[in-house]
Structure 1
């Protein structure tokens, strides 16, 4: 149990790879580049808003020093103040509207890129990158960037502009008073630098820990049947308590930093205002400055320190979004292990001839699964792969489907290396039906048509009838329009498998791979499928992996595998007569039926 918890907790890191920072900046640049004109307009609006906001205190100065006792001047100052206020409102409104459009466009582009890239990545990536982590990237991380684009970014920039503008105005208004104010700058800079470094680490840690919470949550509920069947609830509770506790501690640490920084800025600001009021009042009494200057100075000071306090909260959002962008950039930087060829070789009408030329494969470099393999499968031949678990049958099938590429050698379809084929041509020519028989939410007809989206309802029904699924489908409440629900939960395992068969048959590939595809069928259903398989497989190349030798009997040829090598090769009847491994397997199967 302790090892389980440590495994989960140990996957979070405090410091990112420096290359992630570079990748995240490049990603941000590519997202913003299409909106350069709009961003330029936003900069103009932001500068205008800051300018109009800065005129208010100066107009107060003029009203006090020039307007009191001179009504026309006071009226003019009042009108100008109203105009500045309206201008600030108008530019703020226009900025928020335009920034909202740009922000949503950027988020739309980011989600699309991540989703499309995840679909292009190979099976190997998805086998090691859990579904929970994928969900965390597309939800939690994108939401943090959305929080920044929804208003925090412009507040952050406006606060920074206000600080710089006010500093310049203070120096211009009254140099002695400004120098008194600037005496607090070294402390402010040190405090801000400390907060920047500490909060960057803290918010990166929160992104890592919340990702672990989401991952465990998704995996636990995704496998809820196994959790309840094996009474794993208590262990999952302990793991969740550990990762959730890590997230709580990381969040509390980040909040403590804010609780230190923001009040410290406020305290420094209040002390500075008190000092300026005391010193400025003394200067007014001695005629060294005007009352209006002191009033404007104090108003500007509030505009200086208030944004400094708010910067802490804005900066938190920025740090969280930065950490999220680094994670997304890392996903987008992941190269597809099975890459699309730069100049694909066209494949007009695939025949289904497969050639393995010295093909080798290893999931890990030091653990070869397939030693050098030479194999020729002519077009239209049905080949059964048999052997013990781990013999390399499924690996061979995955190479044919190009879920992986060989680590050495060449695997060709009709004389063309699979690595030279366009993805669309490859997927039209080769289809794989697995034991998983995954169905999508939607109707039965939708799931069958997934094999060929342009198929008519008649073609969908014909495919279902060909493999013996039409009878049970018509018996469903809404027939072909029955919603199969999440992962086909409304159908039995055998029914889901038949729908998966119909989907593959409708696709009409040149090469059909059945990887334990009849394992979910009961004996009556399997018998129903056998004749359909004989008819449909007669015109295409087929690789059939099955432990049930009743399925193997329809094959033209049997390959017995052991340790990644082919140890027997021939027609089923000939291998039985010859004696050997297949003959032993066949005898054991026959005995199991008695």
Structure 2
């Protein structure tokens, strides 16, 4: 899902903007509640601890008021017990407050880590399950940003801000009740100060949410650029792009800095106004309260308690201002994360999969057409039958639609119209495990994960024994190469297989396929990046793994076509020639001209 900016013209809210805000806010809340739901008991326990902590917090000034109005007077008369018991009570609630704070931090700390663990695992699992179309439009840098900076924003809210928010809200509610109980006229003065405070809070909320959405978009762009630069570091250094990359990062980072500065400026303004309102209200309370004490309508101890409570009443407002800042950042982050989690695979698994037993490998394209966009077909309607065990090579100019056919057969996409069947069963009706077990695709750049060669080969069948893995390596011609490595098949290939050459990485990929033993193999330009010796090694390996299997080979090099039983020539999304390599070479069509040009290039 693309990053969404719900801002109207000039950045002002519009009706569409407000509707969009409601949708995004609702989506964020649903995600947060779904994360909390499995941890209901600990959440309730944390709330109970906070409630006890709040009781200890608000009880303190009552003990002080009792000490001033009763305990001191009793001590003057020689009765020290009331004052001693009052002081002891104040000390006890102080220890209770310390104990409950410790307990809450322990419970909430574990709770927040479990929630973040669940969220990271959910995002990672869901992202892996999404279709190829999602990953082609949503860069890996954005996914990394969701799992790092966005999760960190939520972590700040859960680990510290949530404690402050719950404490502040409970304190303000309980203190408000006590203020009315102590003196109604003074409480009404405090209540009057809340009117401008609520208006300012509402205004700041809208402003801050827009600012933090901007920070989430800008930091994602920074991460995307950084990831692309590091992944493509060879091209960066070969083409001396460092200065240009620095300029791009400077621009993106400047946008992030400015967005964050705008958010912090808004937070500073809000905090300053809240403190000003609090101090102004306190000054009014002191004046009005003093006049009531002079008039005999209020005890001095009550006024002292009132001032203390008022300080504790507006103190949490400062904390809430900081929480508000963390909440806006976390809310913007949750909007982005929830957007990823609400993405649905465009290639959906079947509701009722059709079971499939031993697969022969018969493939049929029945009136298939396809377009990446709804209004533009890449493949014009065509039908094709590939009998079980037949090796079909597909050639044609770049953009003719060859790789698209391969992606459809591997079911990275579903046809716009028509059906693709494996042994008579529509691919849409096959369970994903059955499909992946029987149809395997090898691309031009075979990706190797960090780890040993054996680990990478075992991807083809994780349950394979060591002997089976070595047999697969030997079958594709890897054994002589492995003998020269320090740890043989257990040698670490390093990041992205950087320790191996292109041909060696391709042989490892073929060993995976051999071990997986699928019924259908799709090779998408699997030899186009290899040198002549590497290509010969791969060609021998191909003959081994293709024996007795159905195969679709997308090839630019016509040397690969030599092992095919049948050749398809594609142009403009259509199959324009179909026949055996020998028959097509003998004719006067596109393949014959391609073959002649290739032969001349070898002279």
Q: Assess same fold via TM > 0.5.
A: yes
Cα deviation 1:353-382 (Å, max 9, x = unaligned): 101111110011121011111110011111
Match in the other structure for 1:517: 526
Aligned to 2:166: 157
CA offsets 1:262-307 (integer angstroms, 9 cap, x no match): 1222222222222222332232233221121011111101101111
Q: Distance in 2 between matches of 1:49 and 1:270?
A: 26
Which aligned pairs between 1:143-154 and structure 2 lie closer than 5 A?
Answer: 143-154=152-163
Q: Residues 102-181 of structure 1 correspond to what in structure 2 (within 5 A)? A: 102-181=111-190
Which residue is 1:26 aligned to? Answer: 30
Cα distance in 1 between the residues matched to 2:21 and 2:397: 43
Q: For 1:530 and 1:231, how far apart are their aligned partners in 2?
A: 36
Equivalent residues in 2 for 1:450-469, closer than 5 Å: 450-469=459-478
Q: 1:17 to 1:476 in 2, by over 3 A?
A: farther
C-alpha separation between the residues in 1 aligned to 2:64 and 2:483? 82
2 CA distance for matches of 1:527 and 1:533?
10
Aligned to 2:313: 304
C-alpha distance in 2 between matches for 1:24 and 1:275? 41
Q: Provide the residue aligned with 2:387 in structure 1.
A: 378
- Following the alignment from structure 2 to structure 1, what is the Cα–Cα distance between the partners of residues 246 and 283? 54
Q: Cα deviation per residue 1:385-444 (whole Å; 9 max; x = unaligned)?
A: 011111111100100000100011000001110011111110000100001111111111
- Say if 2:89 is the partner of 1:89: no
Name 2:551's counterpart in structure 1.
Answer: 542
Q: Which residue does 2:574 correspond to in 1?
A: 565
TM-score (structure 2 length as normaliser): 0.94
1:247 Cα offset (Å): 0.9
Q: Distance in 1 between matches of 2:466 and 2:267?
A: 61
Residue 489, structure 1, aligned to residue 498, structure 2: yes
Does residue 242 in structure 1 map to residue 251 in structure 2?
yes
Instruction: For 1:101-500, list aligned pairs within 5 A.
Output: 101-500=110-509
CA distance in 2, matches of 1:586, 1:22: 61
Contact 2:506 2:538 in 1 (8 A): no
**Does the residue aligned with 2:372 lie in a helix, a strand or coil?**
strand
Give the distance between the partners of 1:433 and 1:578, measured in 2 at CA.
Answer: 31
Q: Deviations over 1:224-277 (max 9, x none)?
A: 222222232233222222211111111111111122121222222222222222
Counterpart CA distance in 2 for 1:224 and 1:234 is 13
Matches of 1:259 and 1:530 in 2, distance apart? 67
Q: Per-residue deviation at 1:561?
A: 1.0
Does 2:42 correspond to 1:42? no
> What stretches of structure 2 of length at least 5 have no aligned partner?
8-16
Given that 1:49 and 1:91 are in contact with CA atoms closer than 8 Å, whether structure 2 keeps it comes out as yes
For residue 260 of structure 1, give the secondary structure of its aligned residue in structure 2: helix
Q: Distance between the aligned counterparts of 2:26 and 2:184, measured in 1?
A: 42
* 1:532 matched residue in structure 2: 541
Distance between the aligned counterparts of 1:340 and 1:79, measured in 2?
Answer: 67
Q: Distance in 1 between matches of 2:189 and 2:518?
A: 81
Deviations 1:442-495 (A, max 9, x none): 111111111111112221121111111221122122211211111111111221
Find the partner of 1:62 among 63, 66, 71: 66
Quickly say closer, same or farther: Cα 1:366–1:316, change in 2 above 3 A.
same
* Distance in 2 between residues matched to 1:576 and 1:198, nearest whole Å: 70
Q: What is the rounded CA distance, in whole Å, between the counterparts of 2:192 and 2:375 in structure 1?
A: 64
Distance 1:189 1:12 in 2: 26
Cα distance between partner residues in 2 of 1:443 and 1:520: 23
Q: Which moved more, 1:428-437 or 1:568-577?
A: 568-577
Distance 1:13 1:23 in 2: 14
* Residues 1:73 and 2:82 are matched in the alignment: yes
Give the superposition deviation at 1:197. 1.8
State the shift of 1:65 in Å: 0.7
Q: Is the 8 A contact 1:534 1:554 kept in 2?
A: yes
3-state SS of paired residue (1:94):
helix
Equivalent in the alignment of 2:108? 99
Q: 1:19 is paired with a residue of what secondary structure? A: helix
| CA positional deviation for 1:18 | 4.1
Pick aligned residue for 1:574 from 571, 574, 583 = 583
Name stretches of at least 5 consecutive residues in structure 1 with no aligned partner: 1-7
Whether the 8 Å contact between 2:458 and 2:515 is mirrored in structure 1 is yes
Deviations, residues 156-189 of structure 1 (Å, cap 9, x unaligned):
1211221222122111111222233333222222
Superposition RMSD in Å: 1.7
Q: TM-score, normalised by structure 1?
A: 0.96
Tell whether the 8 Å contact from 1:203 to 1:316 is kept in structure 2 after alignment.
no
* Contact 2:156–2:326 (CA under 8 A) maintained in structure 1: yes
Q: Is the 8 A contact 1:497 1:520 kept in 2?
A: no
Q: Give the secondary-structure state (helix, strand or coil) at the position aligned to 1:549.
A: coil
SS in 1 for 2:418: strand
Deviation at 1:12, TM superposition (A): 5.8
SS in 2 for 1:339: coil
Counterpart position of 1:589: 598
Alpha-carbon shift at residue 90 of structure 1 (Å):
2.2
Secondary structure of 1:364's counterpart equals: coil
Answer whether contact 1:340 1:423 (CA < 8 A) is retained.
Answer: yes
